[in-house]
Copies of this chain bind each other. A is one copy, B any other.
Amino acid sequence: LTGVRRIDLNADVGESFGSWSMGQDLELLPLVTSINVACGFHAGDPQIMDATVAAAARAGVAVGAHPGYYDLRGFGRRKQAADPREVEQDVLYQVGALLAFARAHGVPLTHVKPHGALYNQAAVEEPLAAAVARGIARVSRDLVVVGLASGPALRAAAQREGLRFAAEAFADRRYFADGTLTPRGTPDAVITDPVDAAAQAVEIATGGRVTCRDGTRLALSCDTLCLHGDTPGAVPLARAVRGALEAKGVTVSPLHA
């Protein structure tokens, strides 16, 4: 077997805002081992952050920050010509804010995963990747940087800052043969059938590869699998993925375990 025998399951949570609700955080918490909490720039607010970290502390999942662009209306999904220095400072601000909630609840902040357009741009744009890594390192070099398994820029930047990098793959997103994700909005971009998602998760975790959109088998080694909570059917899908992994003997545990 070439694949990992141990994997983290993570979910992006805390992405409601004010009176608007998003995601099924409470249902996902028992199914994952790590969460990435929105920090108020693309989603989330102090009320939601506090409640989310409290729930995570009770559930015993690892808490990470999920910083994004300062873009509530675009949900941080708009690609920007961002100034790297500003990105570094925006990341520092957001991670610092979430760290305060983690400390207040007596739980460690273990990792940081950029969100949306920042995640995608940092995977391939070196100045932005360096900015993200630097912003994280300015908070603490003990934080793990979570990024796209097939995105070389953030991995390299994390290493240059002396930060551990955790490669992320997706159970419910289709891959192109070059390792990039089929963009949202494209038909087939998202895998909605729990059986298909579970199969992809198992293939990645135990086989170290993924079957791409065009049938290509792509080598894909990862430390953590992302489960989305903002789609209908997300919870049964997460349950199927976790069940399939455990049935195949994969240990599901957080990055730090």
Tell whether A45 is near chain B: CB-to-CB under 8 Å: yes
Tell whether A79 is near chain B: CB-to-CB under 8 Å: yes
Query: For A16, what are the chain B residues with a Cβ–Cβ distance below 8 Å?
Result: 20
Tell whether A81 is near chain B: CB-to-CB under 8 Å: yes
Taking a contact as CB atoms under 8 Å apart, the answer to whether A45 and B73 are in contact is yes
Chain-B contact segment, one of A5-13, A87-95, A187-195: A87-95
Tell whether A99 is near chain B: CB-to-CB under 8 Å: yes
Taking a contact as CB atoms under 8 Å apart, the answer to whether B99 and A50 are in contact is no
Query: For A17, what are the chain B residues with a Cβ–Cβ distance below 8 Å?
Result: 17, 20, 72-73
Nearest chain B CB to A85 CB, angstrom units? 8
Residue of B nearest to A45 (CB): B73
Taking a contact as CB atoms under 8 Å apart, the answer to whether B89 and A46 are in contact is yes
Copies of this chain, complex-wide, total: 4
* Number of residues from A at the complex interface, CB < 8 A: 44
Taking a contact as CB atoms under 8 Å apart, the answer to whether A46 and B80 are in contact is no
Tell whether A100 is near chain B: CB-to-CB under 8 Å: yes
Query: For A93, what are the chain B residues with a Cβ–Cβ distance below 8 Å?
Result: 40, 46, 49, 97, 100-101
Q: Mark A36-79, 1 if CB is under 8 A from B, else 0.
A: 00001001011101100000000000000000001011110111
Q: Mark A108-149, 1 if CB is under 8 A from B, else 0.
A: 000000000100000000000000000000110000000000
Interface residues of A (CB under 8 A from B): 16-22, 40, 43, 45-47, 49-50, 70, 72-75, 77-82, 85-86, 89-90, 92-101, 103-104, 117, 138-139
